[in-house]
Amino acid sequence: MEFDLIIKNGTLHSSQKSWQEDIGIKDAKIVKLAKFSDEELSKADKVIDAQGLDILPGLIDSQVHFREPGLTHKEDIVHGSKAAVLGGICTFFEMPNTKPATTTVEATQVKVDIARETSYANFGFFIGASGKNLDELIKSQDMVGCSGVKIFLGSSTGDLLLYDTDKLVEIFKTLDCHISVHSESEERLHANVAIRDNANGDVHAHYKWRDAQTALESTKMIIEVAKKAGRKVHILHLTTKDEIEFLKDQKEHCTIEVTPQHLTLFAPDIYDKIGTLAQMNPPIRTKDHTDGLWEGLKNGVIDVFGSDHAPHTLEEKDQPYPKSPSGMPGVQTMLPVMLTHVQAGRLKLEDIITYLAENPAKLFKLNKGFIKEGMDGDLTILDMKKKFTIKNEDQASKVGWTPFDGMEVQGTPTYTIVSGQVAMDHGKAIKVQAQPIVRGK
């Protein structure tokens, strides 16, 4: 057998073990794990010597906002996916709050077609629930390139919003596909809006307005919906110790995501440091909530990491609060930031694999997440010894900034392998033929 790519001499990892083997990839699949002979190596189209490097299953970022179509002054699929592979991400799932919102199969297909031409990484797109498009949601369930349904329970960037419990129960009962939710209580946001409106430009009002109770009330509501429908819900970007405490006994009804920024940054410090650049929904909270998320990780309450890459231009962000929009970039920095937590002893490398490869692959029923024969040829190769400083000028995102500017990190992706193709080599992104996801049954 001749191979498209052989990766030799690296240390392979799963969440359970590490071992030494060469990897042979052909036609976008891992087809052989063995120690290859010189003859086999000579016949491969490309050979990477990964001596001293760590090889992980291809990492998956299951929450990004690449803003195409309609908001491409902030971001687009080409720039967002380039940032992804530079950050060691092989597959991304993009959210529907574009302009217009992605609420039909046709609109979802438009994104898939754009990504086939422009994306550096493999891709999937969420379709948004509006409360009036159940037929479209049903049609999307078996669609190649559709990663599932996204519901905004509280208003955020864009105009998608649905918090009617009867409609939510109907959607949950009708659909078999993955459902992700942004969980903040729209009623409480309205009740407390004076905190925002009387802020006089003080961005610290953001996390006081969108307080912990706003998140907890919504999360309790959506768990009741999941119970009534007899199925699980995926809660995105969890932010509060209160939700951790509540959800630790609700795991049969939900899966949970946290972001690097909510595990790393905290109020009031980050708002004092970078102002409205720290503004996102749900907000960066006080350190007791950050500590609560880490406690949730330790106790198995959390299932996946996601970046919630949601860029806005510096010009937009420089507006006084609350005119400044919520969201920050993150797809390029997620892995280095989390590897820094590994170096600090808060996580293990195996945890990175669990939360960014194995669990997302299981959750979305993908042929990814593991280095095994027959799996998709997606790999993230790391140099755990290399140190560097995250800088605004190195970001591939159109907006050109990161809340982690100036942060010293250790551990960097050296190669990103997408469907058996080298999409990033030592910090240089390379355009490959990326593929839409296909969800299993």
**Catalytic residue list:** 308
Q: Residue 361 corresponds to which tokens in the numbers above? A: 């692959």
Burial of 344 (0-12, 13-18, 19+ CB in 10 A): exposed
The number of residues making up the chain comes to 441
**E strands in 27-88:** 29-34, 47-49, 54-57, 59-64
Q: Quickly count: other Cβ atoms within 10 Å of residue 20's Cβ.
A: 10
Contact 329, 390 (CB under 8 A): no
Distance of alpha carbon 293 from alpha carbon 314, whole angstroms = 29
Distance of alpha carbon 391 from alpha carbon 332, whole angstroms = 11
Contact 285, 239 (CB under 8 A): yes
The secondary structure of the chain in percent helix, strand, coil, rounded to multiples of 5, reads 35, 25, 40
Q: Is 391 left (phi over 0), alpha (psi -120 to 50) or beta?
A: beta
